[in-house]
Structure 1
Amino acid sequence: MFRLLSIEFHKLKYNRASKVLSIIYFGLLTSIALIAAIKFEFGNFKLHLAEAGIFNFPYIWHFNTFIAAILKFFLLLVIVSMMSNEYSYKTLKQNLIDGLSKKEFILSKFYTVIAFSLISTVFVFVVSLILGFFYSDYNEFSIIFSDLEYLLAFFIKLLGFFSFGLFLGILIKRSAFAVAGMLVWFIGESIFKGYLYWSFRGEKIPSEKVDSIMQFLPLEAMSNLIKEPFSKLGAIRSAANTMGEAFTKSYDVEFLTILIVLFWTFIFIFSSYKLLEKRDL
């Protein structure tokens, strides 16, 4: 494992674009702290996000993982360019000539995906912990380390997303087209979701039937791992209650969703191996 990882990181070390994108990504993760400085003023209404409780334990785990997950596209570019460079610079062929099997080659890429996902998760954990100690009103040990399942969901979300990117990189061979392929898939899922709403328009609660079908699609499943945290804030709920609205939404990380994303991760990696195995290099 470590031998395969060292090969991949050696390649990334001399890839300037990958280094720049990685620095930007982790820089943006750090910049989550800047949210604390955001203030809104509308007449007599004043809102300071840090004081609104977004960095309170344990809510911070939910909020920060949701925000950090939006930034995953920067590392996606690293993953797909990492694969396209193998074809462009013919390092894939050279690795196989030097004795690396196709299985080991795919494993080296998958180990890199795991490493990026794990490093990102640890990074978000550290940043969140520091912000929480600065801004949280609750610092009891039991509160600080509750709801850590959002970090697990974040790791699995990145793992599935980057595995999808790796598969597209192998399938399409060009990073720009691979990213475009991801966008086309997202649009396809969105169109299918719209079609389902149209099909169930006569039902009493069409959204439940639509969600029960859409949850099995890869990008939708990844999205469902960490649901939006904003309506969970006390200020938002209070405002909704004054307007007669009640929230019944579940924000839990669901075990079924984890299994679905892990299943798709396996499919993407296995398909990548089979594709490489059959392809004439």
Structure 2
Amino acid sequence: MLRLLTIEFHKLRHNRASRVLSIIYFGLLTCIALIAAIKFDIGPVKFHLAEAGIFNFPYIWHFNTYIAAILKFFLLLVIVSMMANEYSYKTLKQNLIDGLSKKEFILSKFYTVIAFALISTLFVFVVSLILGLIYSDYNEFSIIVTDLQYLFGFFIKLVGFFSFGLFFGILVKRSAFAVGAMVVWLIIESMTKGLLYYSFRKMDNISERVGDIMQFMPFESMSNLIKEPFSRLNAVKTVANQIGEQFTKSYDVQFLDVMIVSVWTFVFIYSSYALLKKRDL
């Protein structure tokens, strides 16, 4: 495993685009801290976002992993360009000539995916912990370690997403086309969701019925891992109660969602290996 990771990081270290995208990604993750500086002064109304509770333990684990997951597209570009470069620079063929098997080649890419996801998760953990210790109203250890499930969900989400990108990178061999293919897949899922809403428009609990079907789709299952955190804020709940609305959904990382994304991850990696094994290089 270490040997395969060493090979991959050696390639990435000598790829300027990958270095720049990685720096941008982790730089943007750090910029989550800038949210604390957002203030609105409208006449007598003074609003400081950090004081709204977004950096309170344990809510911060949910909020920061949700925001950080939006930035994952920068690392996706690293993953797909990493695969595209193998074909462009003939390093894939050279690795196989040098004795690397096709299975080891795919494993080296998968280990890199896991490494990126793990580093990202640890980075978000450190940033969130520091922000929480500075701004949170609750600093008891038992409260701090509550809801760390979101970090696990974040890790699983990144592994699944990057594995999806790796599969398309091998399938189409070009980074731009690979990203385009993922966008097309996302559009197809969105259209499918819209068609289901239209088909079930006369039924009760339409959202639940559509959700029960869509939860098995790749992007939807990844999205379900970390649900939006904004309706958990006390200020939002207060406004909702005043207009007669209540939020009853579960915000937890569900075991079923973890299993669905894990199955898709296996499908993407195995399909990548099957493609590479079948393809004449």
* Class of the TM-score when normalised by the shorter of the 2 chains: over 0.9
> Distance in 2 between the 1:65 and 1:228 partners?
10
- AA partner of residue 55 (structure 1): F
> Match of 2:118?
118
> Match of 1:27?
27
**In the alignment, structure 1 residue 269 sits paired with structure 2 residue 269:** yes
- AA partner of residue 229 (structure 1): P
> Distance in 2 between the 1:42 and 1:57 partners?
28
Deviation at 1:205, TM superposition (A): 1.5
Give the paired residue count: 281
Runs of 4+ in structure 1 displaced over 4 angstroms?
Answer: none
> Distance in 1 between the 2:91 and 2:128 partners?
39
> Match of 2:183?
183
> Match of 2:37?
37
Is the partner of 1:47 in helix, strand or coil? strand
**In the alignment, structure 1 residue 251 sits paired with structure 2 residue 267:** no
- AA partner of residue 232 (structure 1): R
> Match of 1:139?
139
- AA partner of residue 146 (structure 1): T
Deviation at 1:43, TM superposition (A): 4.5
Q: What does the per-residue CA deviation read over 1:94-129, in whole Å, with 9 as the maximum and x for residues that have no partner? A: 000000000000000000000000000000000000
> Match of 1:55?
55
| Structure 1 runs not aligned, ≥5 long | none
Deviation at 1:28, TM superposition (A): 0.3
> Distance in 2 between the 1:20 and 1:74 partners?
10
Deviation at 1:39, TM superposition (A): 1.6
> Distance in 2 between the 1:184 and 1:43 partners?
46
Is the partner of 2:50 in helix, strand or coil? coil
> Distance in 1 between the 2:260 and 2:62 partners?
20
Deviation at 1:204, TM superposition (A): 1.4
Deviation at 1:38, TM superposition (A): 0.8
Q: What does the per-residue CA deviation read over 1:204-252, in whole Å, with 9 as the maximum and x for residues that have no partner? A: 1211100000000000000000000001000110111111111112101
After superposition, the CA RMSD in angstroms is: 0.7
Q: What does the per-residue CA deviation read over 1:67-114, in whole Å, with 9 as the maximum and x for residues that have no partner? A: 000000000000000000000000000000000000000000000000
> Distance in 2 between the 1:59 and 1:46 partners?
22
Deviation at 1:42, TM superposition (A): 4.2
- AA partner of residue 233 (structure 1): L
Deviation at 1:58, TM superposition (A): 0.2
> Match of 1:73?
73
TM-score normalised per structure 2: 0.99
Is the partner of 1:247 in helix, strand or coil? coil
> Distance in 2 between the 1:6 and 1:194 partners?
45
**In the alignment, structure 1 residue 108 sits paired with structure 2 residue 119:** no
- AA partner of residue 32 (structure 2): I
Deviation at 1:44, TM superposition (A): 4.1
- AA partner of residue 29 (structure 1): L
> Match of 1:231?
231
